[in-house]
C-alpha cells in the first residue's frame, strides 16, 4: 500500500511544525524520516497515523483520501518510542488486544487468537515471555512485543516513532538489523522516524532528511550521504569542517588553498570538508593550509587531530590509527592540511558545487 502526503501543513501556536510537505511512500518500502528534534518528523508520522490532524493538506492511502478517517479505521500499526504497552496486561494479552476488541462478526475465536499470538511471539522470538508483564521485560524486549502487538491486526502500513530511541547503543544496533530482516520478509510499507543518521542510512530503502518543517532531501542512503542537496544535509549526516572563504574569479580561496566555486551574486562562500577527507603532512605544497595541532584525541579505531588554522575555526582531521602511528603527530607541531574532497556553498547561488580537492 502506497501513502501519498499532499501539501500537509501543521502549526502549534506560533511554531510551524510542518510547512506544506509533499511526499510519496512507495508500496513495500522502508522509509526513514530523519532530522533533528523539532524538525516535524514525528508530527508527520502522527498525521499519517491519524493521531494528529493536519491544518491543511491530504493523506492518501493507496490513492484513497484518508485525511478524515479516524486512527482506528486506518489500519496502521503504530510503534511508540516508549513502547506504550498495556501495563496491566500480560505480554500475551497485549498482543491479543487488537484481535479481542474487534466487533463480534470479525473477531477470531479464542483458539484462533491463541494460535495467532503465539505465531507473532515466535516471529519476534519472545514466545517464552507470554505470561510476563511489560514491567518485567527489558527495553529491547518491550519494543519487540510492541511490534508484535502492532502486527497482530495485520496493518497495511507500519509506522515507527523513534522505535529504538530509548535503548542503549548495543541493543539498538541489534534491533535495527533485526527490523531490516523482518521487513525483508514481510514487505509491509513502513515509515520510521529517527534522529540517528547512522540508523537511517543502515536500515532504510530511502531517507527523507527534514529540517524546520520542510524536506531538505529525499533519496537513497548513498544519495543523501554522497550527494547532499543542501548544506544542512551535509552537516547533519556526519561531522564536517566549515571554512569561511571569498570567491575570486570562480575560485573560493581559503588561505593558500582554492576550490572551484559556483557562480553567485556575492563573493562570500562556505567550504565544507569532512574530517576524514583531509590529508596531513609535514611538508607544505600548493594549496595546503598550515596550522598547529592543538589536541590529539584517541577514539578507538580512529584518531582525531584538532588543528588551529589562522583565520578559521579549529579544523578536525580524522585519521586511522595506523596512519596516526606512522605520522607520529604531536601536539604543538606545525602541519599542512590537504583536503581531498570539498564542497563549496555560495549562499546566493542556486546550486552548490563539488569544489574538488585543492
Q: How far apart are alpha carbons 47 and 3 in whole angstroms?
A: 12
> Strand 241-248 relative to strand 251-254: parallel, antiparallel, unpaired?
antiparallel
Burial of 233 (0-12, 13-18, 19+ CB in 10 A): buried
Q: With respect to other proteins, which residue has the nearer C-beta, 82 or 248?
A: 82
What's the closest the beta carbon of residue 84 comes to other proteins, in angstroms?
4
Phi, psi dihedral angles at 89 (to 5 degrees): -110, 150
Q: With respect to other proteins, which residue has the nearer C-beta, 98 or 339?
A: 98
Burial of 168 (0-12, 13-18, 19+ CB in 10 A): exposed
What's the closest the beta carbon of residue 94 comes to other proteins, in angstroms?
9
Q: With respect to other proteins, which residue has the nearer C-beta, 134 or 291?
A: 134
What's the closest the beta carbon of residue 344 comes to other proteins, in angstroms?
46
What's the closest the beta carbon of residue 353 comes to other proteins, in angstroms?
46
Q: With respect to other proteins, which residue has the nearer C-beta, 74 or 183?
A: 74
**Is 334 in contact with 263 (CB distance < 8 Å)?**
no
What's the closest the beta carbon of residue 29 comes to other proteins, in angstroms?
21
Of 285, 281, 276, nearest in space to 293 by CA: 281
Of 228, 209, 206, nearest in space to 219 by CA: 206
Q: With respect to other proteins, which residue has the nearer C-beta, 82 or 340?
A: 82
Q: With respect to other proteins, which residue has the nearer C-beta, 13 or 249?
A: 13
Q: With respect to other proteins, which residue has the nearer C-beta, 102 or 248?
A: 102
Q: Can you state the percent helix, strand and coil of the chain, rounding each to 5? A: 30, 35, 35
In the block, cell 557562480 appears at 263
Binding stretches for other proteins (CB under 8 A): 49-51, 70-72, 75-78, 80, 82, 84-88, 97-98, 101-102, 132-133, 135-141, 146, 149-150, 152-153, 168, 171
The count of other CB atoms within 10 Å of the CB of residue 153 is: 16
Residue 181: all three cell numbers together: 530482516
Q: How far apart are alpha carbons 327 and 348 in whole angstroms?
A: 41
What's the closest the beta carbon of residue 120 comes to other proteins, in angstroms?
13
Q: With respect to other proteins, which residue has the nearer C-beta, 85 or 280?
A: 85
Torsion angle defined by CA atoms of residues 320, 339, 209 and 250, in that order, rounded to the nearest 10 degrees: -170
Of 124, 160, 118, nearest in space to 145 by CA: 124
What's the closest the beta carbon of residue 101 comes to other proteins, in angstroms?
4
What's the closest the beta carbon of residue 202 comes to other proteins, in angstroms?
21
Q: How far apart are alpha carbons 199 and 208 in whole angstroms?
A: 13
Amino acid at each position: 500500500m502506497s501513502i501519498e502526503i499532499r501539501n500537509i501543513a501543521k502549526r502549534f501556536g506560533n511554531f510551524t511544525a510542518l510547512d506544506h510537505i509533499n511526499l510519496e511512500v512507495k508500496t513495500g518500502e522502508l522509509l526513514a524520516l530523519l532530522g533533528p528534534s523539532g524538525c516535524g518528523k514525528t508530527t508527520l508520522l502522527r498525521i499519517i497515523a491519524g493521531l494528529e490532524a493536519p491544518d491543511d493538506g491530504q493523506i492518501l492511502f493507496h490513492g484513497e483520501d484518508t485525511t478524515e478517517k479516524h486512527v482506528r479505521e486506518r489500519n496502521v500499526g503504530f510503534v511508540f518510542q516508549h513502547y506504550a504497552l498495556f501495563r496491566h496486561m500480560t505480554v500475551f494479552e497485549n498482543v491479543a488486544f487488537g484481535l479481542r476488541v474487534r466487533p463480534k462478526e470479525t473477531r477470531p475465536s479464542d483458539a484462533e487468537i491463541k494460535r495467532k499470538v503465539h505465531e507473532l511471539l515466535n516471529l519476534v522470538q519472545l514466545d517464552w515471555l507470554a505470561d510476563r508483564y511489560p514491567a518485567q521485560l527489558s527495553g529491547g524486549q518491550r519494543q519487540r512485543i510492541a511490534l508484535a502487538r502492532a502486527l497482530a491486526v495485520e496493518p497495511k502500513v507500519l509506522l515507527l516513532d523513534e522505535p529504538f530511541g530509548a535503548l542503549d547503543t548495543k541493543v539498538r544496533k541489534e534491533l535495527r538489523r533485526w527490523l531490516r530482516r523482518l521487513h525483508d520478509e514481510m514487505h509491509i510499507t513502513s515509515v520510521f522516524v529517527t534522529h540517528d543518521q547512522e540508523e537511517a542510512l543502515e536500515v532504510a530503502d530511502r531517507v527523507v532528511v527534514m529540517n524546520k518543517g520542510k524536506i531538505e532531501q529525499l533519496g537513497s542512503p548513498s544519495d543523501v550521504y554522497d550527494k547532499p542537496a543542501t548544506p544542512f544535509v551535509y552537516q547533519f549526516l556526519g561531522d564536517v569542517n566549515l571554512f569561511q572563504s571569498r570567491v575570486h574569479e570562480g575560485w573560493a580561496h581559503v588561505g593558500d588553498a582554492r576550490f572551484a566555486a559556483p557562480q553567485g551574486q556575492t563573493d562570500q562562500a562556505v567550504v565544507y570538508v569532512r574530517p576524514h577527507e583531509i590529508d596531513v603532512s609535514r611538508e607544505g605544497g600548493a594549496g595546503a593550509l598550515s596550522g598547529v595541532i592543538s589536541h590529539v584525541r584517541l577514539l578507538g579505531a580512529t584518531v582525531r587531530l584538532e588543528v588551529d588554522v589562522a583565520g578559521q575555526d579549529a579544523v578536525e582531521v580524522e585519521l586511522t590509527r595506523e596512519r596516526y602511528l606512522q605520522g607520529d603527530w604531536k601536539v604543538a607541531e606545525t602541519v599542512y592540511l590537504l583536503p581531498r574532497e570539498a564542497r563549496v556553498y555560495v549562499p546566493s547561488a542556486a546550486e552548490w558545487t563539488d569544489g574538488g580537492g585543492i
